[in-house]
Amino acid sequence: MSLRFRLAAGFAVVALATAAAVALAAPFVVGRGFERFQAEMVAQGVEPGQGMGQGPGPRAGIHAAEIERETTLTLVVVAITAAAAASLVGLALAGRVARPLRELEVAAAAVSGGDLGRRSGLAERTDELGALGRSFDAMAAELERTEAGRRRFFQDAVHELRTPLAVIDATTSAVLDGVYPHDDRHLDTIRDQARLLSRIVDDLRTISLAEAGALPLERRPVDTRALLDEAGRTFAARADRARIRIDVTGRPGLAVIADRDRLRQALAALIDNALRHTPDDGTIGLAASLVGSTVRLEVTDTGPGIAPEDLPHVFERFYQADPARDRAAGTSGLGLSIVSAIVAAHGGRVGAESAGGGGARFWLELPAVAR
């Protein structure tokens, strides 16, 4: 039975119960009234069975009985009429209550059927149904964004995987067909592209585990200044080849509870990104500072900076501000997404902005160890 008819039935039951109560009580009430009426007649010197202003006789008693029956019948008719009217009003009210719920049911069925752009149409209401409609619309919008992201991810993943596979296939075919000689140079190309494929798969697995809350983390206190010094030494040789200086600042003793290896992986991704965008003779800055109750790790560079329209997307999977990028550096296109996923798994935050005077600034924040 639909909600509308259940509500209407509820109203009808209440109305009928009221009518039944009135009908059952009417004879008793009317009888008591006539008893009092007769008592008053006696008190005024009129004998029972004698009407007011009339001599004694049986007609007065008959007349009183007729009045009693007519009064009772009138009460019953009024009660039934009231019950019918209440039922009709209840049906109308039930229809008004059930109509928006029916609209929400239709919208839910559309969303479950794949129409993620469907909305409830109840968001403008100011009652509880409006709150329910707004919650439903927010859920549908989030599902729509998630589905769009999923489709975009698969499209990007296919694109990213297709490129190294095409290079491997083309190089292998050329060698087998005698177009290329069987030398180490072409074998190196195949190996590099195979490693790139493996890196993409590993990065996707890391992001997937982090987003599912299943990324294994060995949390312990990590001195952030020592971590930055280590990262600077790790990338020193690569930076020297490009004549890029790496400056490390930040007071010792700032610590966070984190998985050291995962945090080092996130920091390495930020430094790798900075090195790829910093011109020769540029500078990369690594800094640690206390911001309220969190420790902020920053990586700044003197590259071209980040365009305002790109800032909201830099941590998305495979996002690249420069559509003409290549894979010469052997990157998977997932570095910044890994940073975001690892930091989120630690309960922290990440951000990016264009640094003053040019260049870009990437930062991550994690809760500081209480001292």
DSSP state string for 348-368: -EEEEEEPTTSSEEEEEEEEB
Same domain, 103 and 165: no
What is the tally of structural domains in the chain? Answer: 3
Q: Last residue of a domain, which of 60, 78, 112?
A: 112
Are 164 and 193 spatial neighbours (Cβ–Cβ below 8 Å)?
A: yes
Instruction: Provide mean pLDDT across the span 182-211.
Output: 84
Q: Last residue of a domain, which of 174, 192, 211?
A: 211
Q: Is residue 232 part of a domain?
A: yes
Cα separation, 166 vs 333, in Å, equals: 17
Same domain, 229 and 309: yes
The parent domain of residue 155 ranges over: 130-211
Beta bridge partners of 62: none
Cα separation, 277 vs 32, in Å, equals: 101
Beta bridge partners of 296: 289, 365
Q: Is residue 166 part of a domain?
A: yes
Cα separation, 343 vs 340, in Å, equals: 5
**Quick one: CA dihedral 335, 336, 337, 339, positive or negative?**
positive
Same domain, 200 and 277: no
pLDDT tens sequence across 231-271: 999 999 999 999 999 999 988 889 999 999 999 999 999 99
Q: Is residue 71 part of a domain?
A: yes
Range name among 51-60, 198-207, 244-253 with the lowest pLDDT average: 51-60
Same domain, 192 and 298: no
Same domain, 300 and 166: no
Q: Is residue 156 part of a domain?
A: yes
Same domain, 178 and 229: no
pLDDT tens sequence across 205-236: 888 888 778 888 999 999 999 999 999 999 99
Q: Is residue 124 part of a domain?
A: no
Cα separation, 175 vs 167, in Å, equals: 12
Phi and psi based region of residue 45 (left: phi greater than 0; alpha: psi -120 to 50; beta: remaining): left
CB neighbourhood size of 128 (10 A): 8
Q: Is residue 118 part of a domain?
A: no
Are 249 and 232 spatial neighbours (Cβ–Cβ below 8 Å)?
A: no
Same domain, 103 and 134: no
Same domain, 107 and 238: no
Q: How confident is the model at residue 46 (pLDDT cuts 50, 70, 90)?
A: low
Same domain, 207 and 257: no
Same domain, 26 and 100: yes
Q: Is residue 306 part of a domain?
A: yes
Beta bridge partners of 364: 297, 350
